[in-house]
Structure 1
Amino acid sequence: MKNVNQYIDTLPVEIQKIAQEIRRIIKNEAPDCIESISYGMPAYKTFGKPLVYFAVYKNHIGLYATPSGHEQFSNELSKYKQGKGSVQFPLHSPIPFDLIQKIVAFRVKENNDKFKK
């Protein structure tokens, strides 16, 4: 997998729309981010530092916004299965795009505050 377009193109059509929307949200919130494939999934960096990753699995979408991104939204994320720095949004339920947008915006501000010279 060379790039995010290829990654998304391999997904079932109905899931491609979800992945495209997550990608759009990330690029909207972080227009200067660098997009790549890392750990086999779409990865986004600002200032050369990880911002967020996402991945599509058989039954869910995984969002990886580092532990801080998940701690900040622990109440909103409490109904979803989580790991340290990850959350799973089941594909059989509506994807909370507004929450994803808030998490990404938080991570953008966090990276800006930490790494912007």
Structure 2
Amino acid sequence: MEANGQKVFDDYVVKQDEQFRPCLTELRRIILNIMPAAEESFSYQAHCFKHVYMLVGIGVTKEFCSLYTMSPPLVKSMKDELKDYKASGATIHFKPGEPLPVAIITKIVLARAKENELLALSRGKK
């Protein structure tokens, strides 16, 4: 699966502006260190990671790198920690040279994994 995920990522990152490539590569590395079994795909114009359901995604805008948390309530609950970044809805934007701290990325990925696992359990009971 890793080789496939790498190809999906390579196909995506090569299309991005040079200034964003190191940031995207580092985000992918961090996310896979936290969730090594996450499945990778390309969805909604973003490189995405799946753990049970969609976990997080990474992408770019004209001037920012973006971490798509796929959870507006999570971003809202972390508003103090994210005060130095541009956050809207479920997305956190940051300048390529000013990356999100690994601790924040870790907290988001682990919280999303837990949300997905709890959702799966709740759906399994129905």
Q: Does 1:71 align with 2:65?
A: no
Q: Does 1:60 align with 2:64?
A: yes
TM-score by length of 1: 0.82
Q: Does 1:27 align with 2:32?
A: yes
Q: Which whole-Å CA distance do the structure 1 matches of 2:65 and 2:10 have between them? A: 17
Match of 1:96 among 91, 96, 100: 100
| Structure 1 vs Structure 2 CA RMSD | 2.1
Q: Which whole-Å CA distance do the structure 2 matches of 1:88 and 1:112 have between them? A: 26
Q: Which whole-Å CA distance do the structure 2 matches of 1:54 and 1:23 have between them? A: 8
Q: Which whole-Å CA distance do the structure 2 matches of 1:115 and 1:10 have between them? A: 34
Q: Which amino acid aligns with 1:63?
A: L
Report deviation, 1:59: 0.8
- Determine the structure 2 residue equivalent to 1:16: 21
Q: Which amino acid aligns with 1:56?
A: V
Equivalent residue of 2:29, what SS? helix
Assess if the C-alpha contact under 8 Å between 2:12 and 2:47 holds in 1. yes
Assess if the C-alpha contact under 8 Å between 1:22 and 1:97 holds in 2. no
Report deviation, 1:13: 4.0
Question: Which sections of structure 1, spanning at least 5 residues, go unmatched?
Answer: none
Q: Which whole-Å CA distance do the structure 2 matches of 1:26 and 1:115 have between them? A: 21
Assess if the C-alpha contact under 8 Å between 2:67 and 2:93 holds in 1. yes
Q: Which whole-Å CA distance do the structure 1 matches of 2:36 and 2:116 have between them? A: 13
Q: Which amino acid aligns with 1:31?
A: P
Q: How many residues align?
A: 114
Q: Which whole-Å CA distance do the structure 2 matches of 1:15 and 1:62 have between them? A: 10
Question: Which sections of structure 2, spanning at least 5 residues, go unmatched?
Answer: 1-6
Q: Does 1:107 align with 2:112?
A: yes
Assess if the C-alpha contact under 8 Å between 2:20 and 2:65 holds in 1. no
Equivalent residue of 1:114, what SS? helix
Report deviation, 1:107: 1.4
- Determine the structure 1 residue equivalent to 2:8: 3
Report deviation, 1:53: 1.0
TM-score by length of 2: 0.77
Assess if the C-alpha contact under 8 Å between 2:58 and 2:68 holds in 1. yes
